[in-house]
Amino acid sequence: MNRVDGRQKVTGAAKYAAEYELPNLAYGVLVGSTITKGRLTSIDTKTAERAPGVLAVITHLNAPKAPGTKPTGKDPSQPQTVGNALQVFMDDKIRFNDQPIAVVVANTLERARFAARLVKAQYAKEKHQTNLEANKANAFLPTQAKKNPKSPAADYQRGQVDAYKTGALKLESEYVIPTEVHHPMELQAITAHWEAPDRLTLYDKTQGTMATRRDFARQWGLPEENVKVIATYVGGAFGNALHSWPHESAAIIAAKVVNRPVRLMLTREQMFTMVGYRPHTWQKIGMSATPDGKITAITHESIGQTSTYEEFVEATLGQTKMMYQSPNLTTRYRLAALDVGSPIWMRGPGEATGAFALESAMDEMAFLLNIDPMEFRLRNYTDQDPEKNRPWSSKFLKECYQAGAQRVGWNKRQLKPGALRDGEWFIGYGMGVGTFGAHRGSSKASAQLLPNGTVLLQSAVTDIGPGTGTAMTQIAADTLGLAPEKIRFEWGNSDFAQAPTQGGSAIVNTVGPAVQEACMALKDKLRELAATSNSAFTSAKKEDVAFADNYLTLSGNSTARATYADLVRQAGGTAVTVESKPSGEGQKYSMYSFSVHFAEVRVHELTGEVRVSKLVSCADAGTIINEKTAGNQMKGGAVGGIGMALMEHAIIDDRFGRYVTKDLADYHVPVQADSPAIEVFFVNQPDPYVNKLGTKGIGEIATIGVAPAIANAVFNATGKRVRELPITPDKLV
C-alpha cells in the first residue's frame, strides 16, 4: 500500500509549520549571544526598533513573563519540559553560545532579518567549559540515580564488580562519539497565534501535539483545551522536535506583544545550537572471555555531556545489560555539565551510542579469540533477559543473523584483516546488533462511519515520516473489511483523540491498538443497528456476522445483507472514541525489538577513503503492518548510521565555545553517493504479548548497530581499529 500522504508531499499540497498563511502575519528573527558564558551588561535595540517595518524588539528587559515560568536551572534533574528547561528572556545570564537574547518582529521576514543585525549587546564574560575530555574528572552521578537506586541511570551490578580485570583473556578499550546534530530537511519552525487573550493556537514543528499543548498551557497558565497545536506535516525529525524549545516560547511571547500572529523559523546555523543534539560521549569497556568464546565479565562506563541548567540522561548502557550472557556485569553512567545547550534524544537515543562501544568490543574480543564475530555472538546468545530475569515476549534474532549473513556474503569474510582486495581497494565485512524496548502506552482513537459509507478516524498523533497515517489506515481497513480508499485518517491536531508523542518506536504499538479497537467498536454499533433494522440479524450470534466490502452478511443466510451506509443513514450517523491501554504482560516478559546490520566496505589503500558498498539490515520487529513504509524506516535509519560512522561531527572551538561547523557544507551528512542500495529483511513474526497486532517497533533499531557494523568492517578491511567516530581518512592513512 502506498503512503496516504505521498501525493500531498510530492505535489507541495502538504502544509508545514512555516507555511500557514494567517491574516496580518508578522515574522520573528532571533538574535543569539556571541559569548558562551557570562552576563548581558547592556543591549542596544534602538537602531533596530527604528528600522523599516519593525513592530517590536523583545529582550529580557521588556518581555512579558509567563505566569507558569520557573527560573532556569531551578532543578536541572527534572524531566525536560518547557517549565524546567532554558527560559527565554528571563534574565541577563548567558549559558551557551548563540543563546537567544532578543527576538525582532517585523512585517516581513527580510526586514526582521535586517533589523536583527542592528541589535548590539555588551557582555561581562566568564570562563567557560565546553570540552568533554578536559572535564571528565568533574563527571557526576545523575540526580535521578541518587534519588532512586533502581533508576536506569544508577550503577548496575550483576555478579562481581569489574570481574573482567581478573580474566585470563581480556580487553579494555575506550570509545568516543562526537556531538551529532539533527538536520532534517525541514528547519524547526512555529507560527504562534493568540486568537484571544486566553486562547492560543500553534502551528508547530513538534513530535507531540499534546505534549506541546501541555507545556505551553502550563507556561501561560491556561486550561489545556485553550491551547491548540497543529502539526499535520513534519518534514523529518530525529528527536529534535521532542522538546519544547526557546524559539517556540520566543514566538509565543512575540505574538502576544505585537497582538498578531508571528512566524519564526530557525536558520540552519541555529539548528546546531537551539534544538539539541546527540551528546558527545566517552565510553570504556572492559571484557573478559574463556578461550572457547564464553564471556565471563563486562564493565561498561560512560560519561555524556549535558548543559549546566538541565541534566540530560539517556540509556547509553541499556543494551549492555541485556544483550549477551555474562555472569558478571558492571555499568556506570555519569554526566559532565558544560556551557552548551541541552542535548536531546537522537534517533536510537543512548542505545545507538552504547551499541557502538559494545558491538565494537564484541568484534575486538572475537578477533582476540580468533572466532568469527557472528559465531562469538551466538555463543553468548541470551534465551531470556539476564538483566530482569524474565523471558522475552519474542526474540527472533538468530533468524536475523542467518538472513543477513547470507545476503551480505558473510562467507567471503576472512578472519585475517586486509585479506580481501579489489585492485587498490581493501574489502571488509562487519556486523553490529541493535535492540530497543517494544514500548506501549495508552492512546485513544475516534472513529466515525459517515453516511456515504466511508470512515473518518482521528488521532492527535504526529507523523514525522515513518508512515503513521498509512499504517493506521491499513489497520482500520483490515479491521473493518473496507478498501483503504474508504478510510480517512486525520492526525496532527491536539483537539483530536489523545495520543502520545511520536518517538521511542512506540506509535504503531500504542496508537495502532486504539485504532483497531475503535474500529471494533464501530462494528459492534453496526451489529446493533443491523439487529434493530433487519430481523435476520436480531438473533444472530456475534461470530456469525461478517464484515466485508461495505456490507454486513450472515453466515448460513445468503439473503441477509445490510450496507454500512444504509445503517448509518437510518441511525443518523455513528461515532465512537475508544481508549486502549497496555495489558499487564509487560511485568511478565521483557519486550524488545532486535536488529542486526551487516556491512561490506571498501577502503582505498592510498587515500583512506571508505565506501559502504553493501548494507543489509535485518529486523525482528513483530508484525510488519506495511512492508513499504517499514522498509523506508530501516533504510532511513541505516543512512543515519552511515553518517554516524563516517562523517557526522559537530566541532566546537573551545577557545570561544562556538561551533566551527555551522552549515551543511562543513557538517557532512550522507547523500545518495554515500549510500549503497540497502537491503532490508523482516522476520515478520507477531509478538503475542505487546499488543493484539503483534507489532514491536522499528524506528530506533534501524540505526542502532549500524555504526559499529561499519567500524568493524573497516577493521576487517584494514586491520586498523577506529574507536573515535567518525572514521575519516586521516585515521586510516
In whole angstroms, what is the distance from residue 519 CA to residue 402 CA?
A: 38
Tell me whether residue 700 is one of the annotated catalytic residues.
yes
Which of 399, 490, 700, 724 is the catalytic position?
700
Please report the beta strands in 450-590, taking only residues with DSSP state E, as ranges in sequence order: 455-458, 487-490, 545-548, 551-554, 557-563, 574-580
Task: Find the angle CA(107)-CA(110)-CA(111) to the nearest 5 degrees.
Answer: 50
Is the alpha carbon torsion for 631, 633, 634, 635 positive or negative? positive
The stretches of 273-396 forming alpha helices (DSSP H) are 318-322, 351-369, 373-379
Strands 169-177 and 180-181: unpaired
In whole angstroms, what is the distance from residue 226 CA to residue 607 CA?
A: 60
Q: Which amino acid is at 298?
A: I
Residue 302: strand, helix, or coil: strand
155 neighbors 145 (Cβ within 8 angstroms): yes
Q: Angle between the 627-646 and 706-718 helix axes, to the nearest 10 degrees? A: 50
Among candidate residues 513, 471, 438, the one with its CA nearest the CA of residue 696: 438
The set of cell numbers assigned to 492 is: 496532527
All residues at 6 or more sequence positions from 276 whose CB lies less than 8 Å from its CB, including other chains: 182, 239, 240, 243, 245, 341, 342, 343, 344, 345, 346
- Which residues, listed in sequence order, are joined to residue 615 by a DSSP beta bridge? 599, 678
Q: Within 13 A of 589's CA, how many CA atoms are on the CB side? A: 20
Which helix (H) or strand (E) covers residue 452, if one does?
none
Residue 217: strand, helix, or coil: helix
Among candidate residues 322, 312, 355, the one with its CA nearest the CA of residue 708: 355
In whole angstroms, what is the distance from residue 137 CA to residue 560 CA?
A: 78
The residue to which cell 568493524 is assigned = 712
492 neighbors 209 (Cβ within 8 angstroms): yes
335 neighbors 313 (Cβ within 8 angstroms): yes
Is the alpha carbon torsion for 682, 686, 691, 693 positive or negative? positive
Burial class, 540, CB count within 10 angstroms (exposed 0-12 / middle 13-18 / buried 19+): buried
Show which residues are catalytic.
Answer: 700
